[in-house]
Structure 1
Amino acid sequence: MRWTLKPKPPKEKIEALKSVLSIDDVVATLLLQRGIETFEDAKKFFRPSLDELHDPFLMKDMDKAVTRIEKAIANNENILVYGDYDVDGTTSVALMSTYLKSKYPLVHTYIPNRYDEGYGVSYKGINFALENDFTLIIALDCGVKAIEKVAHAKSLGIDFIICDHHRPGNEIPDAVAVLDPKQEDCNYPYKELCGCGVGFKLIQALASKDGQTVDDLTQYLDLVATAIGADIVPIDGENRVLAYFGLMVINSSPRPGIKAILDQVEKTVLTITDVVFTVAPRINAAGRMKHGNYAVTLLSEEEEDKAKQYAAEIDEYNLDRRETDKRITEEALKQIEEQKEQERFTTVVYDKDWHKGVIGIVASRLIETYYRPTLVFTRSGEYLAASARSVRGFDVYNAIEACSEHVEQFGGHKYAAGLTLKEENYEAFKQAFEAVVDKTIDRALLTPEIKIDYKINLDEISPKFYRILKQFAPYGPNNMTPVFMSDNLIDTGYGKCVGADKTHLRITVKQPDLSSNSFVGIGFSMGDKLDVISSGNPFSAVYSVDENEWKGNISLQFKLRDIK
């Protein structure tokens, strides 16, 4: 691990913020690192308000989208709500369809099959619309690159409204409306909405025409918060507001489908991290192992008993997904070991029998072992399909784009992308991708980095300090959990390996001469560091501060990231 201590903000800024907010150096520094420099900034950060959400009509084409939907309702047209099969797509479809159905009955949903249609808008989906007399398709979390398919639909008399958040290509589809804040000529003030967030802006605009405000739409925010967490978009600006209020809905009055999932995991209060690691994988499992329709059905269900039944089915898919991704990860690691004849700057693996639904997870797992931009390929019909994942600081989307002569289709983000290519182009692509990464990647990025917010003494960590830290949530990109570093730590003699297989580390540390406080620290998969802390020599640790509840007692503990 590379430890990088973030630079301290200018002293005058720290002093000014301390004075206006009556806080200490540590909190002032943490806030300034997050771009919070004034009392007004801090008020928005600590007390998010739905009033801060932007006018949806600031988004390019929003007026056209609303007009077309109103026309469809007035003319009794059939409306097809179409979305991708991942969490962002299925939550988007559940949000849009349940909202529209609350005011109009002729609404149907469509999720493409991951295996025979692939990602995004498909010809099969358009044919379904044609055969069933749908004249308007609202595409969510996809569509901004579907030039030919949207043109084909138009030639058949089917209009498209696209709600997407992926980077557009050089050409924009000829749809009635394209809602995507990442379009260069879109002046919407916030660019980092997820697909479900763009869908929410559309229902916000539609509701405003009925005299409703955003306060009348809070019931949909559990879906938006789930998508924000799962899609790993920045949790700042508008996303922070949507996630904050969405978590309130999840923890107080979630829709029956989400409540049925929460009942399975027996959590009392969920954070955005819990949403990412407990709710999202179950929703995703439907599209990975069976069909995304199952997720939409669960998230749209209004009866609790039925929702419990659907959630139980999806939980089974999730168990299957876990077993499958574990097996494939082991096979991929073995393949990499066999290929290690030379130093490579990428990891590219392929097996025709790997399950397409889990290759994205496998790519992420491989990065945990071999920290390289990674692609995992499998066969998908007549093509090979891959999921790409990247290391922090490297744009894998741009790297794939530089190899596009070998690629049939690709799309995605800086850190996660997907592509298809012909099998005969696999080796050429693999070599081109390696060459591009070799030429463009900063070698330092090939070692995992821990960014440290503040070097702190143990006596600065108190229950009051932690109460303030908790208000920094929800955490995510651009507002990560604060990470601290402390030097001259000594284990008090209670350090040991814990867990069923003794792979985790539990320590109790003090900082002699500097603090009388002692803290317990837990380091998952850090059992190999036991020798470092039990030698009797002082050591340094990087960690976040957490709460531990045991037999009704709550105490502060460290969640260890690394030890040296």
Structure 2
Amino acid sequence: MFHKIVRRPQVEHHHLPTHLSPLLRQIYAARGVQAEESELGLAQLLKPQNMAGVAKAATLIADALAAQQSILIVGDFDADGATSTALCMLALQAMGANVDYLIPNRFDYGYGLSPDVVSVAHQKQAQLIITVDNGISSIEGVAAAKALGMQVVITDHHLPGQQVPNADAIVNPNQNGCDFASKSIAGVGVAFYLMSVLNSELKRRHWYQQSELPEPKNFAHLLDIVALGTVADVVGLDRNNRILVDAGLKRVRLGQCRPGITALLEVARRTPQRIVAADFGFAVGPRLNAAGRLDEMALGVETLLCADIYQARTMAAELDGLNAQRRDLEAEMQQEALKSLETIEFNQAQMPWAIAIYQQDWHQGVIGILASRIKDKYHRPVIAFAEAGNGEIKGSARSIKGLHMRDLLERINTLNPGMIKKFGGHAMAAGLTLNAAQFDDFAKAYEFAAREILKPEQLTGEILSDGELKATDLNIEVAKELRHGGPWGQGFEEPLFDGHFQVLQQRIVGEKHLKLVLETECGQTMVDAIAFNVDLKTWPDATIRHVRLAYRLDVNEFRGNESLQLMVEQIEPL
């Protein structure tokens, strides 16, 4: 299915610094960047004073340190949860805390601070629980912890429901009454802010002198972990998140990152000195996530905590193996899911506006990726379900622009009380649990609710292009400028261009990728290109001599030599 290529409007860009090229200024201006926002220094980070609950949480944790209480971090089982957990462990250990962590196994305990997780925390003799990247929906779990005499500090970034837990402190920029401007911050970003405020509180109390501990100036050395979690969680890269990610990437390029991150980059065949945000998103993040999807996320946390590069490489190799398993499992599930949708693939009249799919033998750990792939193929909101035991199924949802998934589930829940057992999430991604017997009823309610909100034109995928490049801009210098003009990511998309080219050579590499040699229509410039996962029914085809591409500029490195390569997002024969 071809997406419609829509060019961004050309806008005024003279307000941006003149040391940037006109091309980069236009790209920034088209994304709404103001003059002051082009600077990404740490001094421009939002201050924590407007983050509701952070001062109270820091005071509670400082009191726990002073009383030598046992602190337990309860994290989520994805990359954001793993990085949040590792960051808090490293920071609190540097502060002299008696601290441990627990990442609940998704298959045994499910998501969040459940009463069962609280029972484990109680067995560990925890006196203070700090949740990271979860907790805002854990009403029963917090109640159970309080009943057992434990204090609870929640740090989260997910949207709260109508009721919030009765925790001792809640730090979540998306809670009611919080004026912190970055609502897109990841869980690891919230944890970073809390640890920074806690550090200031401990300095105010002269804690380090009393404890004879080295006093941390700040926690900037943890920004590589913040950058990884932020990019891997695919949160919107507003200015504050771009500052955090940019600072973290700079540390990696300078060789100042955690050994675990270095080892993960090595197994992913990425060069630390050349790393960009996409390397975290497409190479490191999935390997970290694989632990939580198929096994225990503790392996991911331990990789990040590891201080020895040789041990880190062993753990990274294990994560790489799990990621290979995840890819194979996902490919098998995707094939099965697409086969079940073949009947509607070529019949737009029967295509549902919202796709709900379920198969008994699907794996809980990869249904989120499966939903994302099918969403991309059909440009519909998708929920993929897998068995969860005890007659229940768990779903992972992925949405499209214009449909807030968590709000949609809230509406379904309001109109159909009791149908959804529990749910939570954000605008673009969410999770839920149903009784398996109610899947068909839910699918109908989901379709009905989506049709109430969406318009037909929203079901046609669009590719936003920054326009057509001149032949003289198809060079490695421009590619490098754009590469380092980021960090690019969700909500601050990497520059993408479109144009017509003549096909000089074409061949399949790696079984399903199309390698091309192209020439601009005017015949001025010849360039290499690659399109991944092409339709082998169409390609290669020697009769196709002209194409329209949507593409990104990339620097290809091979045996120490650099060359320009177009990364093809969409290829249309002409």
Q: TM-score, normalised by structure 2?
A: 0.90
Give the C-alpha shift of residue 297 in structure 1.
Answer: 1.7
Whether the 8 Å contact between 1:458 and 1:517 is mirrored in structure 2 is yes
Establish whether residue 255 from structure 1 lines up as the match of residue 258 from structure 2.
Answer: yes
Name the counterpart of 2:208: none
Question: Which residues of structure 2 form unaligned runs of 5+?
Answer: 205-214
- Tell me the distance in 2 between the aligned counterparts of 1:260 and 1:28: 36
Give the C-alpha shift of residue 462 in structure 1.
Answer: 4.1
Name the counterpart of 2:569: 561
Give the C-alpha shift of residue 229 in structure 1.
Answer: 1.0
What residue identity is the alignment partner of 2:403? F
Name the counterpart of 2:455: 442
> 5 Å matches for 1:443-482?
443-482=456-495
Whether the 8 Å contact between 1:85 and 1:114 is mirrored in structure 2 is yes
Give the C-alpha shift of residue 353 in structure 1.
Answer: 2.4
**SS where residue 387 of structure 2 aligns?**
strand
Give the C-alpha shift of residue 442 in structure 1.
Answer: 2.1
Establish whether residue 266 from structure 1 lines up as the match of residue 269 from structure 2.
Answer: yes
Whether the 8 Å contact between 1:505 and 1:526 is mirrored in structure 2 is no
Whether the 8 Å contact between 1:503 and 1:527 is mirrored in structure 2 is no
Name the counterpart of 1:499: 509
Query: Against the structure 1 CA distance between its residues 430 and 241, is the aligned structure 2 distance closer, same or farther, given a 3 Å change threshold?
Result: same
Name the counterpart of 2:212: none
Which of the residues 308, 311, 335 maps onto 1:306? 311
> 5 Å matches for 1:182-193?
182-193=174-185
- Tell me the distance in 1 between the aligned counterparts of 2:34 and 2:288: 38
- Tell me the distance in 2 between the aligned counterparts of 1:502 and 1:192: 36
Name the counterpart of 2:210: none
Whether the 8 Å contact between 1:505 and 1:522 is mirrored in structure 2 is yes
Name the counterpart of 2:398: 389
- Tell me the distance in 2 between the aligned counterparts of 1:439 and 1:172: 28
Establish whether residue 319 from structure 1 lines up as the match of residue 332 from structure 2.
Answer: no
Give the C-alpha shift of residue 505 in structure 1.
Answer: 4.1
Query: Against the structure 1 CA distance between its residues 533 and 469, is the aligned structure 2 distance closer, same or farther, given a 3 Å change threshold?
Result: farther
Root mean square deviation, CA, Å: 2.4
- Tell me the distance in 1 between the aligned counterparts of 2:559 and 2:146: 63
**SS where residue 451 of structure 1 aligns?**
strand
Whether the 8 Å contact between 1:159 and 1:175 is mirrored in structure 2 is yes
- Tell me the distance in 2 between the aligned counterparts of 1:360 and 1:511: 41
Name the counterpart of 2:365: 357
- Tell me the distance in 1 between the aligned counterparts of 2:565 and 2:483: 14
**SS where residue 218 of structure 2 aligns?**
helix
Name the counterpart of 2:550: 542
Give the C-alpha shift of residue 463 in structure 1.
Answer: 4.2
> 5 Å matches for 1:142-181?
142-181=134-173
Give the C-alpha shift of residue 211 in structure 1.
Answer: 4.4
Whether the 8 Å contact between 2:513 and 2:530 is mirrored in structure 1 is no
- Tell me the distance in 2 between the aligned counterparts of 1:522 and 1:323: 23
- Tell me the distance in 1 between the aligned counterparts of 2:512 and 2:344: 31
**SS where residue 134 of structure 1 aligns?**
coil
Name the counterpart of 1:21: 18
Which of the residues 378, 381, 393 maps onto 2:386? 378
Give the C-alpha shift of residue 137 in structure 1.
Answer: 0.4
Which of the residues 491, 514, 518 maps onto 1:508? 518
**SS where residue 313 of structure 2 aligns?**
helix
- Tell me the distance in 1 between the aligned counterparts of 2:180 and 2:58: 16
Which of the residues 45, 49, 60 maps onto 1:53? 45
Query: Against the structure 1 CA distance between its residues 34 and 77, is the aligned structure 2 distance closer, same or farther, given a 3 Å change threshold?
Result: same
Give the C-alpha shift of residue 240 in structure 1.
Answer: 0.6
Larger deviation, residues 409-418 vs 527-536: 527-536
Instruction: Name the % identity.
Output: 32
Name the counterpart of 1:222: 224
What residue identity is the alignment partner of 1:137? I
Question: Which residues of structure 1 form unaligned runs of 5+?
Answer: none
Give the C-alpha shift of residue 368 in structure 1.
Answer: 3.6
Query: Against the structure 1 CA distance between its residues 83 and 511, is the aligned structure 2 distance closer, same or farther, given a 3 Å change threshold?
Result: same
- Say how many residue pairs are matched: 548
- Tell me the distance in 1 between the aligned counterparts of 2:455 and 2:217: 47
Q: TM-score, normalised by structure 1?
A: 0.91
Give the C-alpha shift of residue 495 in structure 1.
Answer: 2.4
What residue identity is the alignment partner of 1:261? L
Whether the 8 Å contact between 1:490 and 1:536 is mirrored in structure 2 is yes
Establish whether residue 403 from structure 1 lines up as the match of residue 412 from structure 2.
Answer: yes
What residue identity is the alignment partner of 2:263? A
- Tell me the distance in 2 between the aligned counterparts of 1:166 and 1:317: 27
Whether the 8 Å contact between 1:543 and 1:560 is mirrored in structure 2 is yes
Query: Against the structure 1 CA distance between its residues 24 and 142, is the aligned structure 2 distance closer, same or farther, given a 3 Å change threshold?
Result: closer
Post-superposition Cα deviations, 1:397-430, rounded to whole Å, max 9, x if no partner, equal 2222221132011111111110001123221111
Query: Against the structure 1 CA distance between its residues 165 and 524, is the aligned structure 2 distance closer, same or farther, given a 3 Å change threshold?
Result: same
Query: Against the structure 1 CA distance between its residues 264 and 456, is the aligned structure 2 distance closer, same or farther, given a 3 Å change threshold?
Result: closer
**SS where residue 68 of structure 2 aligns?**
coil
